[in-house]
Amino acid sequence: MKTFLILGAGTGGTMVANKMSKRLDRREWRIVIVDKDETHYYQPGFLFIPFGIYSPSDVVKPKRKFLPDGVEVFFSDIEFIEPERNRVRLGGGKEINYDYLVVATGSHTHPEQTPGLTDAWQQKVFDFYTLEGATNLGKYLETWNGGRMVLSITEMPIKCPVAPLEFLFLADWYFHKRGMRDRVELVLATPLPGAFTKPQASAMLGGMLERKGISLEPEFTIMEVDNGKQVIRSYDEREVPYDLLVSIPLNMGADVIQNSGMGDELGFIPTQKNTLQTIKWPNVFIIGDAGNVPSSKAGSVAHFMLDILVENLSDAMQGREMKASFDGHANCFIETGFNKGLLIDFNFDVEPLPGQFPFPVIGPFSLLKESTLDHIGKMGFRWIYWNILLKGLPIPFVESHMSMNGKKSLSKAPVQA
């Protein structure tokens, strides 16, 4: 019996388990999946918890519910991965030898990596990338009387790169609804040169932050949090004062990746971006956030990686040349508040473009343009996640590769100095 091992049973790992359990000959292959946590979190839902739109119970379900029969499930820490010897050691010492491995261990926040960030952690300084953080922030906001709320992005890449904007758009709406928007200042401190860095998105959404009264501190590379003075300080000594700090901490790959010497400087595994095979180990692949693929780190990306990964795994297992190629496709709904949202659809080579998705003219979802339907799409996605996506089923009319169908280009002529 050969062993197909999946590390991590989040979005990516669960989808791979479901697809491969139908694909592999079960007389030849044993499928094993390991995760340290029995709870499956719908991470896109965390954003809504601080504002009372979702409660914690709306975003959790047991992981087992989504894993197929016939797959061996271990809920355990993963202590060490030895790709040179095709084996993995779990916490408690159990060893699993594998023939093929998919690493789906995700991306995790590390507030302790920024000096001062954890001093007033969950008291004056919060995150919303964990269920605990989002819930604590929600409680704090219930009785907050207003002041200066700063959202600080520590460093790129982060998973869900649009979440900081969504958070501020929702905050703007939330405080309006509570009749206290005039008592709140909203600030985005980002290492990026702007809220939107790509030309089309910038052109179409440029005025959005200003319209919503959100100010920007661009190119802010946070060095430390000064809890005494209540400022965040950058390496070039700029200070941004806050009354309430919401942080998106440094994102790194799972600890075991670093401990096993497999990751880059942020603990993400060097991966061939099209085949999803790791650079160093031909029988080790990744799905989702765990690799250093230059796509966004997002659930939709893992979904689009899935079919390509499964094809390539099958070919590799049979000694055939891998032909499927991932194009970096990402498709993300962005909440903009006031029951509106917008949709972006892009890949490695094509930035988010305006137009309609998935069909030209009839859409129904508008790209790079706010609409109520896009908001409904965002909220409706939770059902699709639990009932379709996790099972490895396709989403109707949405292909793995990005399509130019319905997209318009506002192209500019190249500039010569």
**Could you tell me if 214 and 186 are in contact, meaning their C-beta atoms sit under 8 angstroms apart?**
yes
Nearest approach, Cβ of residue 224 and another protein (Å): 11
CB closer to another protein out of 104 and 195: 195
Q: Does 330 participate in binding another protein (rule CB under 8 A)?
A: yes
CB closer to another protein out of 223 and 384: 223
- By C-alpha distance, which of 162, 159, 208 is closest to 186? 208
HSE-up (13 A, CA, CB side) for residue 214: 28
CB closer to another protein out of 319 and 414: 414
Of 101-109, 116-124, 195-203, 307-315: span binding another protein (CB under 8 A): 195-203
**Could you tell me if 134 and 50 are in contact, meaning their C-beta atoms sit under 8 angstroms apart?**
yes
Which residue in the block uniquely carries the two structure tokens 């991590």? 8
Task: Return d(Cα 396, Cα 129) in angstroms, integer.
Answer: 29
| Parallel, antiparallel or unpaired: strands 60-62 and 39-41 | antiparallel
**Could you tell me if 56 and 45 are in contact, meaning their C-beta atoms sit under 8 angstroms apart?**
no
CB closer to another protein out of 77 and 351: 351
Q: Does 417 participate in binding another protein (rule CB under 8 A)?
A: yes
Nearest approach, Cβ of residue 192 and another protein (Å): 5
Q: Does 286 participate in binding another protein (rule CB under 8 A)?
A: no
Q: Does 283 participate in binding another protein (rule CB under 8 A)?
A: no
Q: Does 262 participate in binding another protein (rule CB under 8 A)?
A: no
Q: Does 299 participate in binding another protein (rule CB under 8 A)?
A: no
Q: Does 294 participate in binding another protein (rule CB under 8 A)?
A: yes
| Parallel, antiparallel or unpaired: strands 330-337 and 340-346 | antiparallel
Task: Return d(Cα 81, Cα 84) in angstroms, integer.
Answer: 9
Q: Does 201 participate in binding another protein (rule CB under 8 A)?
A: yes
Nearest approach, Cβ of residue 375 and another protein (Å): 18
Of 24-32, 78-86, 219-227, 315-323: span binding another protein (CB under 8 A): 219-227
Task: Return d(Cα 348, Cα 323) in angstroms, integer.
Answer: 18
**Could you tell me if 200 and 368 are in contact, meaning their C-beta atoms sit under 8 angstroms apart?**
yes
Which residue among 53, 223, 376, 379 contacts another protein (CB under 8 A)? 223
Which residue among 70, 115, 193, 282 contacts another protein (CB under 8 A)? 193
Site for another protein, residues 337 to 396, rule: CB under 8 A: 344, 346, 352
HSE-up (13 A, CA, CB side) for residue 66: 28
Q: Does 215 participate in binding another protein (rule CB under 8 A)?
A: no
Of 91-99, 119-127, 190-198, 356-364: span binding another protein (CB under 8 A): 190-198
Of 1-9, 44-52, 191-199, 240-248: span binding another protein (CB under 8 A): 191-199
Nearest approach, Cβ of residue 24 and another protein (Å): 34
CB closer to another protein out of 125 and 250: 250
143: which 2 tokens?
Answer: 């009785």
* Cα dist from 199 to 169, 205, 331, 405, whole Å: 21, 10, 18, 20
In the three-class reduction of DSSP (H, G, I as helix; E, B as strand; rest coil), residue 311 is classed as helix
- By C-alpha distance, which of 37, 27, 29 is closest to 7? 37
Query: Helices 299-317 and 11-23: crossing angle, nearest 10°?
Result: 30
Residues contributing to the site for another protein (CB under 8 A): 155-156, 161-162, 165, 192-193, 196-199, 201, 219, 221, 223, 235-236, 265-266, 294, 296, 330, 344, 346, 352, 412, 414-417
